[in-house]
């Protein structure tokens, strides 16, 4: 499976405010790039922290991009994936609607009945790991469901875990010309953090995009 992490961050590395409110960091040009990237993959993934904060749809907006997917014999929309150890995704979450297939990655330990609740609203529950989703195992299951190209949008907890598991192939980051600040604000990679043996990236491209800069890395 090919995994690309895509995010937008402020010049000081924040993915949103200390209140975890959704804030437009991308400009119009980068939102367009994100829509095109979503249209090019088999599935788009976030952590449940993003679901609870933003209630994202994770769908392709541009009808022409949707039509191009169908012309290629693909589903109109990429699938959606949520890393959600304890099945906290609200049953009425937007990304559980019927716009696209949705996989919810859960751990074995979860409140009884939550898997069924999610399955009742059409989600495919993938169980991997005991207390936290075992990403390598969960990704193998996603591959078995036909996911070969996966885009991960965040947030910082999930992105760190992917690097810690050496599961990231490419990273693209749009850097906006603004400062958000806040010692508690989410950053591109949160979690426990590395204290050595840091993942080394190779700069693949640097380009001006709108008012900001797009950085692309091979991992």
Ligand X SMILES: NC(=O)c1ccc[n+]([C@@H]2O[C@H](COP(=O)([O-])OP(=O)(O)OC[C@H]3O[C@@H](n4cnc5c(N)ncnc54)[C@H](O)[C@@H]3O)[C@@H](O)[C@H]2O)c1
Ligand Y SMILES: Nc1nc(=O)c(N)c(NC[C@H](O)[C@H](O)[C@H](O)COP(=O)(O)O)[nH]1
Binding mask 161-200 for ligand X (x = CB under 6 A): x------------------------x---x----------
Q: Does 26 bind ligand Y (CB under 6 A)?
A: yes
Binding mask 32-61 for ligand X (x = CB under 6 A): --------------xxxxx--xx-------
Q: In whole angstroms, how far apart are CA 57 and each of 48, 74, 116, 218?
A: 13, 19, 21, 27
Binding partner of residue 78 among ligand X, ligand Y, none, CB cut-off 5 to 8 Å per kind: none
Phi and psi of 144, rounded to 5°?
-65, -25
Query: Across-strand partners of 2?
Result: 149
- Name the minimum Å distance from CB 81 to ligand Y: 12
> Quick one: 31 or 145, whose CB is closer to ligand X?
31
Q: Is 180 exposed, middle or buried (0-12, 13-18, 19+ CB in 10 A)?
A: buried
Q: Does 212 bind ligand X (CB under 6 A)?
A: no
d(CA 138, CA 150): 12
- Name the minimum Å distance from CB 104 to ligand X: 10
> Quick one: 57 or 75, whose CB is closer to ligand Y?
57
Q: Which two tokens stand for residue 38?
A: 């979503």
d(CA 58, CA 189): 20
Neighbours of 171 (CB within 10 A): 24
Q: Residue 1: helix, strand or coil by DSSP?
A: coil
Site for ligand Y in 45-74 (CB under 6 A): 46, 50, 54, 56-58
> Quick one: 69 or 160, whose CB is closer to ligand X?
160
d(CA 182, CA 166): 28
Q: Does 172 bind ligand Y (CB under 6 A)?
A: no
CA 59 to chain CA centroid, Å, is: 12
Using CB under 6 A, list all residues that contact ligand X: 7-8, 15-16, 20, 22, 25, 46-50, 53-54, 83-85, 132-133, 135, 153-158, 161, 186, 190
Using CB under 6 A, list all residues that contact ligand Y: 8, 22-26, 34, 46, 50, 54, 56-58, 153-154
């Amino acid at each position: 499976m090919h995994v690309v992490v895509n995010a937008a961050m402020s010049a000081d590395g924040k993915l949103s405010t200390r209140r975890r409110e959704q804030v437009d960091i991308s400009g119009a040009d980068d939102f367009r790039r994100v829509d095109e990237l979503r249209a090019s993959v088999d599935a788009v993934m976030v952590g449940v922290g993003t679901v609870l904060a933003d209630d994202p749809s994770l769908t392709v907006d541009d009808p022409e991009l949707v039509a191009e997917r169908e012309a290629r014999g693909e589903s109109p929309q990429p699938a959606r994936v949520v890393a959600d150890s304890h099945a906290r995704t609200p049953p009425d979450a937007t990304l559980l609607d019927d716009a696209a297939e949705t996989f919810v990655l859960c751990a074995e330990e979860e409140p009884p009945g939550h898997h069924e609740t999610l399955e009742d609203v059409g989600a495919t529950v993938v169980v991997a790991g005991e207390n936290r989703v075992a990403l390598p195992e969960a990704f193998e299951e996603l591959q078995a469901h036909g996911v070969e190209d996966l885009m991960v949008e965040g947030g910082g907890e999930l992105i760190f875990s992917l690097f810690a598991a050496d599961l990231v192939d490419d990273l693209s980051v749009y850097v906006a010309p603004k400062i958000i600040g806040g010692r508690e604000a989410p950053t591109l990679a949160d979690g426990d953090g590395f204290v050595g043996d840091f993942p080394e990236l190779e700069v693949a491209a640097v380009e001006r995009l709108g008012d900001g800069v797009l950085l692309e890395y091979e991992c």
